[in-house]
A and B are shown apart, each in its own frame.
Chain A
Amino acid sequence: MQVSARHQKHRLATLVGFLPLIIFLALLLYVGLNAPNFMTVVNLKLVLAQSLPVVLSVIGLSAVVMAGGDDVVSGGIDLSTPATAVLCAGIVSVMTTAGQPLLIAAGASLIACMLVGVVNAVLITRLRMAPLLATLAMFVAVVGINNVITARKRLNLAAESIASLRQDFVFGIPLGILLVAVLALLAYHFLHRSKWGLNLQAAGGSRDAAEISGIRVDRLVAQTYLLAAFMGFVTGFFMLARANGYSPGAQDNLMLEMVLATFLGAAFSPRRIVTVWGAILGAVLVAAISIGLKTIGVNVFWTDLIKGALIVIVVALSAISERVQ
């Protein structure tokens, strides 16, 4: 009798644990029933293509959060990734428009992006600045510098080869989606299956315990900020491909969606921790919801409200399921 009661409670906890995901899927199902072409392969490809920049930036952010701990205020967070991404897009656009070869432009923007990562790492691991503060200030500074470089102008794509991320197909799959899938698998392997990744998670779980057992936490944390800067660099190219050029002001939306996807991803994971696959799933689902709401003709003014309510519901459910468990 008692055993069965416990069994029931366990089943309840599992059910509540899956509720965040169920709510998302139910919303998508509702969209699918109301707009028959939403559930087609073409549209799903569109959703994936739309989500690529966010997927790439959440890979970097989840590494940072895993190593720094998931307390948003005092733990690890990198808000500067979107700024790094637009910096890359800006430098590449300006240089290729001026007639420089793509390779040189890419090299220059890689240096600039990694410089942002180095400054983040120094501020956080040497000066012990709170990551939220350091990367927020860097976001403001980098966006400012990028606005000087690009003069806040829209620049059309000058390097045709970047467009192939959007247009070309390999085995019937868009090249961009394939590349991001490979990067995501690599990230999953290194962050969740390698010794480095396990050390990273140990550092994020309990910094003191990790240090006592001989993990060089500061070095790991610094590496994650460099990784995040590198992912920002890669994101820049996909933003150029998606918007067919550089458009000023893309960073604000990317920042909100990146943070949203990463922390929603934590609600999807069984232990409520930030994981790479959770963050990627979050990014794709957020893109799917945005496009889905548009297809069934929801007024665009309402999309933010629905997104905000979703954050609140999903995160509240994950807090409740933790208590039930």
Chain B
Amino acid sequence: MDNVVRQNRLSLRSILMRFGFLIVFALFFLFFAAWNPVFVQGQNLLNIVEGSAILIIVAMGMTLIVATGGIDLSVGIALDFGAAFAVVAMKSYGMGWFSAACVGLIGGSLVGLLNAALVVGLRISPFLATLGTFFIGSSAQRIFTNGGGPISYRKMPEGFRDIAQGDLYGIPTEVIIAAVLVLIYYLVLERSVWGRRVHAMGMQRSASIVAGIRVNRILIACFVFASITCAVGGLIAAANIRMFTPLSGFSYLLDAIAAVFIGAALHPRGRPNVLGTLAGVLFLGMITNGLNLMGLNFNTKDALSGIILVSALALAVAQRNMRNADGD
């Protein structure tokens, strides 16, 4: 009798362990679908992915930095710089859309270079270094725009506008860009020797130095790579509203961190990983979209998504703990 009960509990436990977070994901999905049938329509699901495209991109960069064992508080600055450099290149220097996009990516990489110089060159901890970059980058934008007014460019070239507003066989370009970046990140971080080195360094830095991994070189590459990725997000943001809005990147920071850690909690060994981050971003996007469709008051919606975020994270972590306890 006792045995049977225990077995039952064990099987329930094992189901929860393996699928806990996915079950919550599915329950929310069903709940929103029941509330408003529009939620499950193909167009709306595509809207969720399209609305999350920039966050997916920023969260990829964050995943890379967290995998090295650091954190990047300046992802928003890299995003803003990408948008600002591209818009100014087109508006003031009359560049074509492609060269302007490249200038945007170079602008974003400046942020990564500054981070790398501070973290690798001056040995400042990533948290404080990127906090410094955040302050400096925010101020630079205020100075440049004379207080934070947006730089709009309604007549931007068709090609640049298409980065956000075009589509390929009915799929929005931004979704395609995000998908390509996710694929690249997956192959580089999870399926290559270089990615192994990044993870090794994030888990045991001193051991990986002893093993001959060139930690500094990898760190520099990661910071630059991550900032260029965020600048891609900036290009999309700028193309979407045809203007550069200073300091708008900050709003992605907390969500990107949350998505990376949800993803890490889903991983068997608690490591940040590309697919987990993707799941985290889509979860957040689904919650935002679903609450919007419920037609709630703006403040209530904000509070609810905050509470859901805490509970979802708690659940994801509890799930990982149970799995680890069983593995011991």
Contact = CB atoms under 8 A, between A and B. Distances in A.
A257 to B, nearest CB: 11
Interface string B175-209: 00000000000000000000000000000000000
B254 interface: yes
B75 to A, nearest CB: 14
Contacts of B137: 308
A320 to B, nearest CB: 8
B73 to A, nearest CB: 10
B274 to A, nearest CB: 18
Contact of B138 (A129, A141, A299, A304): A304
A152 B299 contact: yes
Nearest to B123: A319
A72 B130 CA distance: 12
Q: How large is the interface on B (under 10, 10 to 19, 20 to 34, 35 or more residues)?
A: 35 or more
Contacts of A183: none
A89 interface: no
A301 B143 contact: yes
- Which applies to chain A's interface (DSSP): helix, strand, loop or mixed? helix
A141 B122 contact: no
B261 interface: yes
Interface in A289-311: 299, 301-309, 311
Contacts, number: 139
Contact of A308 (B135, B257, B309, B317): B135
Interface in B82-140: 118, 122-129, 131-140
A182 interface: no
Interface in B245-264: 254, 257-258, 261
B303 A145 contact: yes
B38 interface: no
A313 B261 CA distance: 30
Interface in A152-199: 152
A140 B261 contact: no
B257 A144 contact: no
Contacts of A320: 122
Contacts of B134: 308
A302 B257 contact: no
B306 A309 contact: no
Contacts of A152: 299
A259 interface: yes
A222 interface: no
Contact of A302 (B123, B143, B313): B143
Interface residues of A, number: 46
B166 interface: no
A127 B307 contact: no
Contacts of B269: none
A88 interface: no
B299 A148 contact: yes
Contacts of A130: 261
Interface string B63-76: 00010011100000
B302 interface: yes
Interface string B132-163: 11111111101100110000000000000000
B304 interface: yes
A29 interface: no
A309 B136 contact: yes
A33 interface: no
B135 A307 contact: yes
Contacts of A308: 131-139
B54 to A, nearest CB: 19
A300 to B, nearest CB: 8
A6 interface: no
B128 A127 contact: no
B10 interface: no
B16 interface: no
B122 A148 contact: no
A123 interface: yes
B313 A73 contact: no
A263 B128 contact: yes
Nearest to A130: B261
Contacts of B129: 312, 315
Given A73-B70, A140-B258, A263-B128, 9 more contacts: A73-B69, A127-B318, A136-B254, A141-B303, A145-B303, A301-B147, A308-B131, A311-B131, A312-B129
17 contacts: A71-B125, A72-B128, A140-B309, A140-B310, A144-B305, A145-B303, A145-B306, A148-B299, A304-B142, A308-B131, A308-B132, A308-B138, A309-B132, A312-B118, A315-B122, A315-B128, A323-B123
Interface of A: 71-73, 119, 123, 127-130, 132-134, 136-138, 140-145, 147-148, 151-152, 256, 259-260, 263, 299, 301-309, 311-312, 315-316, 319-320, 323
Q: Which 7 A-B pairs have the closest CB atoms?
A: A308-B135, A141-B306, A305-B139, A144-B303, A144-B306, A304-B139, A308-B136
